[in-house]
Amino acid sequence: MIFPPRASRLGFARVTAKDDIRKEALRLGFDAVGFARADVPLDADYERYRSFLDDGKHGEMAWLAKAPEARRRLDGEHVLPGAKTVVCVARRYGRSADDEAADPELARSIARYARGRDYHNGLRKKLRKLAKLARALGGEARPLCDEEPVLERAWAARAGLGFVGKNGLLIVPGVGSLVLLGEIVTTLPLEPDAPIAERCGACTRCLDACPTNAFERPFVLDPRRCIAYLTIEHRGAIPEPLRDGIGDRLFGCDDCQTVCPFNARSQRQAHDVDRRFEADPRWRDVSLPDLLALDDEGFVRLREGSPVGRATRAGLARNAAIVLGNKGDPRALHALARARDAHDASFVREAAAWSIGRIEAKAER
Ligand code: B12
Ligand code: SF4
Ligand code: SF4
């Protein structure tokens, strides 16, 4: 349903509330905006999410099992009483291939979304402004960004913001999948946009490129094999058969997006990307052996304003040990031996011993 026409805030054009919100979202710097009905539950996606949990695919991400109903419905006590519309937005973080090639070496082993400053604060600020406008237009509104139990991709797909590709990511036509999603849920009844048909065709590049074979089949990921899960969310030892596939990835992974033709096209074009996504210059001064030996004070400095703190101090040391082992450089042996003998986390000591074994075996060969 279209909200009744009304005079714009400037008073010289008659526009709808939906147009006002769309324009404001674009003015705030979002790259795409879509509108979905919030009062029709996400039944098919909810069923997929339930079987995901039943199969234990959430691994150690216990928080994914909390408040399941909120994932199906955004109204009532779940997110916002009387919710009628979800306004879904996407913010691009993928920079041009030339810009990324100039990033410090260590930054290039960090997933693109996490190389710069933590995106949450910037995104939340913009979403709060959008929610303020929805309130000024007469509705209640609540901004959401990664902090609520919401199936963000499923809502974004319903809102026609893009389509879910075989790599499971939301792909925005003309922009690609290197985007972060956010929403505002509002009681304003705004006309929904039509979903976009999936456009992968016969392509299977993402499935073929995944270094740890994390896709069970097209569209269906087993997070427990995904490098993003293993290096960021998983606490403890990383299963040995998956270590090789981690290669030089220290934090997160972008392979199933790097190979996607929808991103290649968009990375060739010049884009206005928030400076907060540029690689943090601090990565020039940090090495993998530094991460192995990080103490609490050093970790606090490193995580300041950076998303990498989510992996925890010991998690970063574990990841650094595995990357050093995969690189096979004997110059790392001294730092690895120190970590094997003295690190306070047993799984870091074990990862360092594993890496030493790999480097020595390589040297013998
Ligand atoms: C937990 C989580 C993870 C976990 C698990 C991911 C997973 N696939 O379940 C891990 C740590 C592995 C992860 C990895 C990454 N993540 Co993550 N993650 C989340 C989080 C917090 C919840 C996802 C969730 O609920 N998963 C449970 C499953 C069941 O739901 P789902 O993945 O959303 O899938 C639904 C829809 O895709 C839908 N669907 C729609 N159409 C179709 C069609 C078919 C045929 C099928 C089968 C399903 C389907 O079905 C599913 C159930 O509803 C979301 C934020 C959020 N609140 O949604 C971010 C989010 C999905 N992650 C994001 C990002 C950026 C990443 C990484 C790229 C980070 C990185 N570079 O390392 C990788 C990408 C890995 C990948 N190929 O998916 C972005 C994705 C943006 C985008 N363009 O899609 C999100 C939306 C965060 C954000 N606010 O921007 N992530
Ligand atoms: S993020 Fe990396 S490990 Fe995870 S599914 Fe994509 S390619 Fe595989
Ligand atoms: S790489 Fe190919 S199959 Fe995978 S998401 Fe992109 S277009 Fe779809």
Q: What is the mean pLDDT of each run of 10 residues along the chain (365 residues)?
A: 42 67 96 96 96 96 93 90 97 91 95 93 94 96 90 97 98 96 96 97 98 98 98 97 98 98 81 84 95 96 95 98 97 97 98 97 87
Instruction: Identify the residue whose C-alpha is closest to ligand 1 atom 39.
Output: 154
Ordered by start, the domain boundaries in the chain are: 6-186, 212-246+286-364
CA of 99 to the centre of ligand 2 (A): 22
CA of 212 to the centre of ligand 2 (A): 7
pLDDT at 15: 52
Specify whether the backbone of 56 is left (phi greater than 0), alpha (psi in -120 to 50) or beta. Answer: left
CA of 32 to the centre of ligand 1 (A): 18
pLDDT at 13: 33
pLDDT at 309: 96
- Closest-lying ligand to the alpha carbon of 205? 3
CA of 246 to the centre of ligand 2 (A): 10
Is the distance from CB of 183 to CB of 85 less than 8 angstroms?
Answer: no
CATH code reported for the domain at 6-186 = 3.40.109
pLDDT at 147: 78
Cα 64 to Cα 67, 164, 254, distances in angstroms: 8, 20, 22
pLDDT at 364: 87
Annotated catalytic residue within 43, 55, 98, 146? 146
CA of 300 to the centre of ligand 1 (A): 28
Instruction: Identify the residue whose C-alpha is closest to ligand 3 atom 5.
Output: 165
In eight-state DSSP terms, residue 41 is: -
223 CB near ligand 1 (under 6 Å): yes
* DSSP calls for 192-219: PPPPPPP--TT--HHHHH-TT--EEETT
Residue among 45, 72, 153 whose CB has most ligand 1 atoms within 8 A, to mutate: 153
Instruction: Identify the residue whose C-alpha is closest to ligand 2 atom 6.
Output: 256
**pTM, whole model, 2 decimals?**
0.95
359 CB near ligand 1 (under 6 Å): no
CA of 16 to the centre of ligand 2 (A): 41
Instruction: Identify the residue whose C-alpha is closest to ligand 3 atom 7.
Output: 200
Pairing status of strand 179-186 against strand 85-92: antiparallel
- Measured CA to CA, the distance from residue 5 to residue 13 in angstroms comes to 10
pLDDT at 255: 98
- Return the number of other C-beta atoms located less than 10 Å from residue 35's C-beta: 22
One-letter amino acid for residue 126 of the chain: K
Instruction: Identify the residue whose C-alpha is closest to ligand 3 atom 1.
Output: 260
Phi, psi of 42 (to 5 degrees): -85, 75
- Measured CA to CA, the distance from residue 36 to residue 38 in angstroms comes to 6
262 CB near ligand 3 (under 6 Å): yes
pLDDT at 270: 61
170 CB near ligand 1 (under 6 Å): yes
Instruction: Give the position, in ligand 2's atom list, of the atom nearest the Cα of 221.
Output: 5
- Measured CA to CA, the distance from residue 126 to residue 179 in angstroms comes to 15
User: Is 146 an active-site residue?
Assistant: yes
